[in-house]
Chains A and B, each alone.
Chain A
Amino acid sequence: MSDSPENKPVTPSSPASAPASAPGPGTAATSAVEPPSRWRTTFNEIIGGSVMISILAVVLAIVAGGILIALTDENVQKASVYFFARPGDTFAEIWKSVSGAYVALFQGSVYNFKRPDFLDQIKPLTETLTFATPLIAAGLGVGLAFRVGMFNIGGRGQMLIAAACAGWVGFTLHLPWGLHLVVAILAGVIGGGIWGGIAGLLKARTGAHEVIVTIMLNYVAFYLVSYLLRTPVLQAPGSNNPKSPPIDPTAVLPDLLGPKFNLHLGFILVIAATVFVWWLLNRSALGFKFRAVGINPNAARVAGIDVKNMYVYAMLISGGLVGLAGVFQVLGTVTTGFSSGIDAGIGFDAITVALLGRSKPWGIFIAGILFGAFKAGGFAMQASQGIPIDIVTVVQSLIVLFIAAPPLIRTVFRLPDPSKPKKPKAPKPAPVTREAVAAK
């Protein structure tokens, strides 16, 4: 940081000057990097917070969830009536309710030591991975869009279209084993990709904001699929319910660990998708352009990168990845026929997953597994402790809230502000000074 708060460029278009941008040293130091706009800075801040912030956000959200569990627990309430007479009772009840809840969450999601044999004990973990599979796929899609500077809220629509395409192939075409699955997956990915691509195209050609467009396309997709589920296209023959026929066994994603477990081939595919997105973003020319557009579209344009095309390509790929989540739902999770609720809110959870994973492929992978664990464990928590599963949703929402407010996290945990120059590590000041002297 030899470029101190001092030098603001002399551009009249840049509004950043001393009093406006410098209420404190932190802001001043960042303003030396002079980001394109305030909205984009905030956006990048939220998308790219540090690993530590993500982890601490989860910790903080779990603590807050614990407080909520304690507050809503009936036994705690009863004991708190005579708190001043015997405070120990209250604390005991609080401990019982909170620890009970989180132990149940753990047993439901990772390892259940109460079950007799090893396979049964480990089953919750495979459940977690099963729940995580579509979350990771959709998270990768949303995260990719984030990296190109776009907010893809259209996960629901893209998943529904993908599910409808993959499902239709799954129960209409009767292809041989292997080929059928491949065609069904491709149909879903392409369907999701096109649905995302529409949003990208509208943004590129007309300047429509992708947030508005993707939200609206969610409704279009929902009512389109609902309608089709009442027509012979998707509706099961002879049924009055808006539900599709079951998927042919040839198009179902095969179980990975045998029929005893729900974990299916999708998990392997999603690992492959993570590797692909990592390669795309970090090692490919297209990804290079994506990242450049995402961080500074102006510089990208001046460097001859076709920014508008990048928006279209990114939304195509993003939609395709989210579509993969829809495919997993219809060919892996619910193979007995789907309804218009097949997306199961994954399109929205994916936003949280992408945020928590800091839009990095492997970060999203880990965040997806964490959220899969919340889902798997949430049911166990409800069943064994009678704690409403909504508490899990609250914890998830709190995670987003905390990630979006890094200063809050920093204050709670007394972390240094990364936008200020780093604390002096022993050898560091010397090179800085030398560089600065040399540069002048």
Chain B
Amino acid sequence: MKLELRGITKRFGALTANDHIDLTVEPGEIHCLLGENGAGKSTLMNVLYGLYQADEGEIVLDDVVQHFAGPGDAMNAGIGMVHQHFMLIPVFTVAENVMLGHEQTGFAGFLDLSAARRRVREISDQFGFDVDPDALVDDLPVGVQQRVEIIKALSRDAKVLVFDEPTAVLTPQETDELMAIMRQLKEAGTSIVFITHKLREVREVADRITVIRLGKVVGEASPTATNAELASLMVGRAVELTVHKDPAKPGAPALVVSNLSVIDARGQVVVNDVSFDVKAGEILAIAGVQGNGQTELTEALMGLQERVTGEVTLDGKSLSGLSVRKVLDSGVGFVPEDRKEDGLVGEFTIAENLMLDRSNGAPFVKGGGLQLAYLSTFAEEKSKEFDVRSQGIGTEVGRLSGGNQQKVVLARELSRGLRLFVAAQPTRGIDVGSIEFVHKRIVATRDEGIPVVVVSTELDEVVALADRIAVMYRGGIVGIVPGTTPRDILGLMMAGEIPAGVEPLDPEGAAA
């Protein structure tokens, strides 16, 4: 089926999210929609899927103009969407999830589950998906859950499939498998719109690339374009994709973690007997697929987890069992993984957020009262230093872009006298320009002789920053390897294997 978007315009008040966007997807083509966060990709797809009504322009399928009042219409017209966050019910089986929303019923309204099972098997066999219709979705790995989403769309005879940032939650291997599936679907004549901001994936799988910036189509590129070309098209200027960093000059071990285990609220061991150390002036990256204990590990370091065993020392002083306040006071800077949830108070101003974890005494508080004059001088200075783009320090942080929000967090944490810097997913969901800035600041912090822990699920980031890499899998550290370790090996380690011939720096995974 041929999909055409003609002059789609979508405005939210003064903001034009989509400005006369034209897009044509031929049958059996993988069309990449490349753009930064906030460029308008998802808005465009939501228009296509009937979630938004376009202010101008039309959607044309096989030369017939369509009017979608909601996702139901879009689905009936043959458009399917695989969302970034899966729309599955975890306690239902695969078949139940697939039939959800267009249940077939038999006698007296009983669900015709066997028909749904048959449908799942059919599609699964056709593409070699290897999905058991009776498995509970909750028990399936993320990659397989995504296939369930694809089956769901295909079971409704989708001829155009939209993948919205599908690789964010996948391991590199799962990503490769997804690419293969996309190619297969293409062979079968399905048109695919693939939304992403990851350049490598685009070049690997795309037939055509449309780049969107600030709600406008800024150009088409061929898959043979280089990363740098694509990036500059996306950002509108030349971007440094790799951070310049001199070789680390590691000093003595500063942060020593030994036999650390964390049990979560459900009684599960989420971090299992982890030991490592970080030397002054080096960056240890903790790699791994989302949900393998990295979050809990950093929280345990910060004193945010309740049930922790093992020992954590910083410069010889124990951090175990200290309150968050005390850990912060010992000179630990922390960039939490989810800045909107844990790092910032959205309705507070930039200035207020800059003193969020320093509300206990001088210089921001004297005699129980806030030192507002000092705070505003400080905030002016820091927003300049960290290049926070806003209409002023009184702007609510929730109104800033992701990149600027992250700069506020960085400014706050890096302006305290630090002895350790822990950054979890420091560039998640922020634009390329800000990523560059954040990476530079992290390396600069290292060069000041501060030990740095960076947790990231993005291999690109890990490889760009790390002096050493610890790979986590199911709560344990698979191995600690040098920063120069090739991606494919890291990818295997992220799946829990140590490939033959790889010498972890620390075979036991233990420090000491």
Contact = CB atoms under 8 A, between A and B. Distances in A.
B150 interface: no
A32 B40 CA distance: 13
B348 A292 contact: yes
Residues of A contacting B: mostly? loop
A252 to B, nearest CB: 33
A284 interface: yes
B57 interface: no
A249 B372 CA distance: 45
A440 B51 contact: no
A439 B356 contact: no
Contacts of B38: 2-4, 6-7, 436, 440
Nearest to A435: B389
B85 A288 contact: no
B369 A285 contact: yes
Interface stretch (A105-113, A257-265, A418-426): A418-426
B227 interface: no
Contacts of A25: 12, 52
Interface stretch (B322-330, B376-384, B500-508): B322-330
A429 interface: yes
Given A5-B43, A284-B368, A299-B341, A440 B428 contact: no
A283 B389 CA distance: 26
A412 interface: no
A15 B87 CA distance: 9
A299 B345 contact: yes
Interface stretch (B176-184, B256-264, B312-320, B401-409): B401-409
B85 A14 contact: yes
A17 B13 contact: no
A13 B52 CA distance: 25
A424 B84 CA distance: 32
Contacts of B372: 283
A421 B359 contact: no
A19 interface: yes
A322 B169 CA distance: 50
Given A9-B428, A437-B214, A302 B433 contact: no
Interface in B349-375: 352, 355-357, 359-360, 364-365, 368-370, 372
A305 interface: yes
A165 B340 CA distance: 45
B36 interface: yes
Interface stretch (A33-41, A59-67, A156-164, A347-355): A33-41
A305 B360 CA distance: 9
Interface in A17-34: 17-20, 22-25, 28-29, 32-34
Q: How large is the interface on B (under 10, 10 to 19, 20 to 34, 35 or more residues)?
A: 35 or more
B433 A440 contact: yes
A107 to B, nearest CB: 42
B4 interface: no
B42 A36 contact: no
Contacts, number: 230
A304 interface: yes
Interface stretch (B331-339, B466-474, B478-486): B331-339
B390 interface: yes
A292 B345 contact: yes
A181 to B, nearest CB: 27
A439 B403 contact: yes
Among A305, A421, A439, which residue has the most Cβ atoms of chain B within 10 A?
Answer: A439
A284 B346 contact: no
Contacts of B390: 435
Nearest to A296: B345
B432 interface: yes
Interface string B64-102: 000000010000000001011101000000000000000
B391 interface: yes
Given A299-B356, A439-B433, A7 B37 contact: yes
B405 to A, nearest CB: 8
B60 interface: no
Contacts of B240: none
Contacts of A36: 341
B84 A8 contact: yes
A295 B403 CA distance: 22
A359 to B, nearest CB: 13
Most buried by A among B327, B328, B401: B401
A33 B71 contact: no
Interface in A274-306: 279, 283-286, 288-289, 291-292, 295-296, 298-306
Interface of B: 12-15, 17, 36-43, 45-46, 49, 51-52, 71, 81, 83-85, 87, 164-165, 168-169, 213-214, 235-236, 290-291, 302, 304, 323-325, 327-329, 334, 336-348, 352, 355-357, 359-360, 364-365, 368-370, 372, 389-391, 398-405, 428-434, 457
Given A33-B346, A292-B348, 15 more contacts: A1-B13, A4-B40, A6-B43, A8-B84, A11-B341, A18-B42, A19-B49, A33-B340, A34-B340, A283-B372, A284-B370, A305-B357, A421-B12, A431-B391, A439-B434
16 contacts: A1-B13, A5-B43, A5-B46, A6-B17, A6-B38, A6-B41, A19-B49, A25-B12, A288-B355, A291-B345, A295-B348, A300-B345, A306-B325, A428-B14, A437-B236, A440-B236
